[in-house]
Chain A
Amino acid sequence: MGSARRHVKAVAASAFICAVFAASAHGQSELPSFSATGLLDLRVALTGKSVSWEDRGLGKTRFGAATDGNNRVIARIAEASLIVKGDLTWDISGVAHVIAGAQQEHPIDLVEAYLDYHPVPTSRYGIRGRAGAFFPTISLENTGLGWTSPFTISSSAINSWVGEELRTFGAELTAFRTGDDIDVSLTGSVYYANDPAGTILTWRGWAIHDRKSGIFEKIPLAPVRIIRPGGILDNQAPYVAPLAEIDDRAGYYVGANVEHHDFGSLHLLYYDNSADDREIEGGQWAWLTRFLSVGLKTELPANVDLVAQYLKGRTSVITIPPPTGPISRTHYDSLFFLVSKTWGQHRVSARWEHFATHDRDRFPDNNSETGHGLTLAYVFYPVAKQRLTLELLHVRADRPERTLSFNLPAKWHDTQIQASYRFFF
């Protein structure tokens, strides 16, 4: 069922892209009109000393050691993104974000593909909507082209998780009021898919990186004891396919955004994928994942930008039917503060963050972790549409399962230094 639906998604997305490209022969100005933007990110990284989650480790950084304890230098194309926008009418557009990368499961994948409805406001009140596959309205940090951050290379732990496990596959409607001093909007969404969201947060924990998973991607999991062959939950595949639909139930989120023209923005989002957490299909559990996110963006004295976000939630699966069956349950929370200052072609930013998961079940594994991250970044725009970013990321964490599964110290710290050069078009 799930794989059939994934197939439908692939066909639908491919048809959409083909339609977009086929119609792009039209001029810029006539309707429908099509335009393309994108970015190419060349990266050099001095990795941390832990094996990255991308290589089935429990490391927190995107670029990690080949074997634990030995850092290395990696140079690669970190991201190649193409974002095609097709204006179908004056108030309906289609957007497709295609991403290419050697580290992806599929060399070419989709990050987002949706229709955007934005009728011209005729009063202080208005609506807009989206339908398709897209990021939920959650991040005040990832405001750049292709869901990048204008401040750093690596997103916060919160938005790194959004980038890898969350994607709305449904419809979102926003009603807004534009005021003289305050703009207010209310957003609601109903979606399918996204049932396995929460898997990676339980068995790997938080991570801090810039890797956006593709809609069709399977993200590798570290072989922690519980999901190894012979483990209690070895029916879990050694990867998570975050956008799988398993239980045929719709999830929802509701959000609000208040923007005071002088003081900045406050954003709230409550997310509930309403998964039936007794179901498993194709090696993917439906995790019942709920969280509340609170974001703040404002300007401090001396033109210093402040972005902060707090997210707290829980996720669970019932692996044997109740009333007696064991439950895997994890509570999680994270908080970050980011300050940034821009002058001319330069920007410096610093982000501190806390992250934690709390294992609240009777299984003999221990998915608890606490940790902190500090990110320092310098951005330089040498010419229009090019950006150099230097970033230092230091993470400290304590995760007992590292010892239990891999005989590594539970407490560790890692430092990753990256240089990124981005070309935008």
Chain B
Amino acid sequence: MMVLESADSTRGCKLRRLPVAALLCLFIQPAWAADVTVIVMSQSRAPISDAVVTLSPTGGDVSSGESPKHAVMVQEHQQFAPFVLPIRVGTTVEFPNRDSFRHHVYSFSPAKTFELKLYGGGETQTVTFDVPGAVALGCNIHDNMLAYIYVVETPYFAKTSSNGRAVIQGVPPGNYEIAAWHPNQKSQPSNPTGNFDVVSENNVEKIVSIEMKRDRRPRQPGAFDEQGY
């Protein structure tokens, strides 16, 4: 099993045993990395959008890799956007209120319990998410507002688009546990669906099937009858 070395230990080997380290570094940190495409489908083989795909290095070392430290969850037109926001542990999320009226954002999910009182006209507050898990967001003033922040430990994650595809770029060689999460999937929290190796720069394509709850009509933001007309 291949274990990813951290940047610190690489520097250490350079100092003490340079030639061996150079050889080793060549072997364990090649210049290449693969793009992993994951297609998420339901039990009826329909593509699932807004699913979060994660690749976790086997062995649990998720300290390497880079990921954005900031993300944004917008409130506009009485909706959250995006519907699902995947972030890595430690990320600070901005909540700008772009409506002219107030929003009262809250979550009581175990991964993060908080409330934000946001006046209209662009007021922004931030929350840092430091525990992995799904965080369901609501607005105490507008019952129809709903969104999810999915906090992951691994730096290798992406969200599926409308065709059910997510591309995780720059995955170094190694053995990975693959998992997919969606707010409407049956088993919460999600379980890894298997392992695979990234062994060359050839891009990898994997298919993950998740069991969704009964196929309810998707919520149509702004649908006339949703607004009480």
User: Which residues of A are at the interface with B, using a C-beta cutoff of 8 A?
Assistant: 28-31, 33, 35, 87, 90-91, 118-124, 143-145, 148, 150, 178, 180-181, 261-263, 299, 303, 342, 345, 347, 381, 384-385, 387, 422, 424
| A180 CA to B108 CA, complexed, in Å | 12
B140 touches A29 (CB 8 A): no
CB distance from A162 to the nearest CB of B (A): 18
Most interface-central of B113, B115, B138, B228 (chain A CB within 10 A):
B228
| A345 CA to B113 CA, complexed, in Å | 38
Q: Can you report 28 residue pairs joining A to B where beta carbons are below 8 Å apart?
A: A28-B120, A29-B102, A29-B119, A31-B102, A35-B101, A87-B141, A90-B117, A90-B140, A91-B140, A118-B140, A121-B106, A122-B108, A122-B113, A145-B229, A148-B228, A180-B188, A262-B213, A262-B214, A263-B214, A299-B216, A299-B217, A345-B224, A347-B225, A381-B225, A381-B229, A384-B224, A385-B229, A424-B229
B101 surroundings in chain A (CB, below 8 A): 28-29, 33, 35
List which B158-180 residues lie within 8 A (CB) of chain A.
Answer: none
Most interface-central of B101, B108, B224, B228 (chain A CB within 10 A):
B224
CB distance from A26 to the nearest CB of B (A): 12
List which B29-48 residues lie within 8 A (CB) of chain A.
Answer: none
B140 surroundings in chain A (CB, below 8 A): 90-91, 118-121
A29 touches B225 (CB 8 A): no
A124 surroundings in chain B (CB, below 8 A): 108
4 nearest interchain CB pairs? A29-B120, A262-B214, A145-B228, A381-B224
B120 surroundings in chain A (CB, below 8 A): 28-29
B59 surroundings in chain A (CB, below 8 A): none
| A29 CA to B223 CA, complexed, in Å | 25
Interface of chain A, helix or strand or loop or mixed? loop
| A261 CA to B183 CA, complexed, in Å | 12
B224 surroundings in chain A (CB, below 8 A): 345, 381, 384, 387
* A145: nearest chain-B partner, CB-CB: B228
What 0/1 readout, one digit per residue, does chain B (101-131) give for beta carbons within 8 Å of chain A? Answer: 1101010100001010101110000000000
Interface of chain B, helix or strand or loop or mixed? loop
A120 touches B104 (CB 8 A): yes
Q: Determine whether B63 belongs to the interface, using a CB cutoff of 8 Å to chain A.
A: no
Q: A29-B120, A29-B121, A261-B213 are in contact. Are A150 and B225 (CB under 8 A)?
A: yes
Q: A30-B119, A120-B140, A345-B224 are in contact. Are A422 and B102 (CB under 8 A)?
A: no
B229 touches A144 (CB 8 A): yes
| A321 CA to B223 CA, complexed, in Å | 57
B213 surroundings in chain A (CB, below 8 A): 181, 261-262
User: Which residues of B are at the interface with A, using a C-beta cutoff of 8 A?
Assistant: 100-102, 104, 106, 108, 113, 115, 117, 119-121, 138, 140-141, 188, 213-214, 216-217, 223-225, 228-229
B106 touches A150 (CB 8 A): no
| A119 CA to B104 CA, complexed, in Å | 10
B229 touches A120 (CB 8 A): no
Q: Total number of A-B contacts with CB less than 8 angstroms? A: 72
* A422: nearest chain-B partner, CB-CB: B229
A262 surroundings in chain B (CB, below 8 A): 213-214, 216
| A90 CA to B213 CA, complexed, in Å | 34
A121 touches B108 (CB 8 A): yes
| A144 CA to B225 CA, complexed, in Å | 8
A28 surroundings in chain B (CB, below 8 A): 100-102, 120
A384 surroundings in chain B (CB, below 8 A): 224
Partner of B228, one of A91, A119, A143, A303: A143
**Besides the known contacts A29-B101, A120-B106, A261-B213, 13 further A-B residue pairs in the complex with CB atoms under 8 A apart:** A29-B119, A90-B117, A121-B106, A122-B108, A122-B113, A124-B108, A178-B108, A261-B216, A342-B223, A342-B225, A381-B229, A385-B229, A387-B229
| A143 CA to B143 CA, complexed, in Å | 13
CB distance from B146 to the nearest CB of A (A): 12
| A342 CA to B225 CA, complexed, in Å | 9
| A263 CA to B213 CA, complexed, in Å | 10
CB distance from A202 to the nearest CB of B (A): 33
CB distance from A27 to the nearest CB of B (A): 9
B119 surroundings in chain A (CB, below 8 A): 29-30
| A28 CA to B102 CA, complexed, in Å | 8
A30 surroundings in chain B (CB, below 8 A): 119
CB distance from B219 to the nearest CB of A (A): 12
B100 surroundings in chain A (CB, below 8 A): 28-29
| A120 CA to B116 CA, complexed, in Å | 10
Partner of B102, one of A33, A118, A381: A33
* B220: nearest chain-A partner, CB-CB: A342
A120 surroundings in chain B (CB, below 8 A): 104, 106, 115, 140
| A180 CA to B133 CA, complexed, in Å | 14
| A101 CA to B162 CA, complexed, in Å | 48
| A118 CA to B108 CA, complexed, in Å | 15
CB distance from B119 to the nearest CB of A (A): 4
* A380: nearest chain-B partner, CB-CB: B224
| A8 CA to B229 CA, complexed, in Å | 34
A145 surroundings in chain B (CB, below 8 A): 228-229
A422 surroundings in chain B (CB, below 8 A): 229
A29 surroundings in chain B (CB, below 8 A): 100-102, 119-121
B216 surroundings in chain A (CB, below 8 A): 261-262, 299
CB distance from B217 to the nearest CB of A (A): 5
B108 surroundings in chain A (CB, below 8 A): 121-124, 178
CB distance from A115 to the nearest CB of B (A): 15
| A381 CA to B220 CA, complexed, in Å | 15
Q: A123-B108, A262-B216 are in contact. Are A150 and B229 (CB under 8 A)?
A: yes
A303 surroundings in chain B (CB, below 8 A): 217
B106 surroundings in chain A (CB, below 8 A): 120-122
B225 surroundings in chain A (CB, below 8 A): 150, 342, 347, 381
B102 surroundings in chain A (CB, below 8 A): 28-29, 31, 33, 87
